[in-house]
Structure 1
């Protein structure tokens, strides 16, 4: 049975296995991974997990020049299956990438985990007082578009981005909108 947890250094090896499965590239949205993060070493991984925790604190995020972001990992036992990020607050990054980003490792796809995680993170958005959230996905990412639509996403339109054309969806947060 999957669960969503806060990032933890305890799952270093499991996270690296998921990361290796994805292969190189910036397609692990939901993990907050930046090119400068040293996730291969134990100390670097601990520092990265600490940074993710700090980004969830509005005061610390503002001091670092960013909007707050809550990160959760989708895990089953000691296996990391994916990640999801809830960016709350206004920023140019949120306008470009959306309030929520997520990714499920290739071997765990097709099980409904992204839909499940998205539904769960909407509960956290509600707790933060968010009444609607923006999600953005590449035009050719049909699986992500279906996931967003499954949880109530309404297509605003398609726009051009530096990474190519993208769909913009809005979801009314259940219980607030």
Structure 2
């Protein structure tokens, strides 16, 4: 059994500096920040924080958005921000094709340490509390690290398909 090194916490004002440093690390690497509920493009941390908080409640959403909870994955011992994970409470048509129930990212300086596998495992536990019986996780076919993370959490490949020039993989994880 793996020893837990991470915990999932809701974003709060006290994490502003950590979140902005996280975003800067992705920007410097010219990388996409998956599972961060728009942190990459937020006008300010406060605006992002309000959006993340409102995003949990269906009556506060606009457009075709669905309720979702965003967590920061921080180390248990030092509260260091390692990654961010977003759990969608249900799927709309878009998420059934691209995105799935869970999106996540790990900062480059913390990769290849098993954090993504642990983060996804913790997110799957949260899915259980939301009453999600099975979780859909998607990734680009050439994202071998993400596919390995999903498989490490018992993901079963359902299908692979082409979307706008990119091969996408659909994995399902049973939560019962």
Aligned to 1:94: 95
- Aligned CA RMSD, in angstroms, stands at 1.8
- The total of aligned residue pairs comes to 168
SS in 1 for 2:54: helix
SS in 1 for 2:18: helix
Structure 1 residues 36, 145: CA separation in 2 closer, same or farther (over 3 Å shift)? closer
- 1:91 and 1:82 map into 2 onto residues whose CA distance is 25
Q: TM-score, normalised by structure 2?
A: 0.87
Structure 1 residues 84, 163: CA separation in 2 closer, same or farther (over 3 Å shift)? farther
Q: Contact conserved, 2:39 with 2:48, CA < 8 A, in 1?
A: no
Aligned to 1:74: 73
Aligned to 1:167: 169
- 2:174 and 2:165 map into 1 onto residues whose CA distance is 26
1:43-90 per-position Cα deviation (integer Å, ceiling 9, x unaligned):
x211211111111123323x5541111110112335321101111223
- 1:5 and 1:163 map into 2 onto residues whose CA distance is 36
- 1:4 and 1:36 map into 2 onto residues whose CA distance is 22
Structure 1 residues 20, 36: CA separation in 2 closer, same or farther (over 3 Å shift)? closer
Matches for 1:20-169 after TM superposition, within 5 Å: 20-23=24-27, 27-33=32-38, 36-38=41-43, 44-61=44-61, 63-76=62-75, 77-95=78-96, 96-162=98-164, 164-169=166-171
Structure 1 residues 87, 13: CA separation in 2 closer, same or farther (over 3 Å shift)? same
Aligned to 1:41: none
Tell me by how many angstroms 1:122 deviates: 0.9
Structure 1 residues 125, 54: CA separation in 2 closer, same or farther (over 3 Å shift)? same
1:9-58 per-position Cα deviation (integer Å, ceiling 9, x unaligned):
211111111111112656211111166521xxxxx211211111111123
- 1:88 and 1:2 map into 2 onto residues whose CA distance is 22
Q: TM-score, normalised by structure 1?
A: 0.87
Tell me by how many angstroms 1:93 deviates: 2.8
5+ residue gaps in structure 2?
none
Residue 19 (1) aligns with residue 23 (2): yes
Q: Contact conserved, 2:91 with 2:100, CA < 8 A, in 1?
A: no
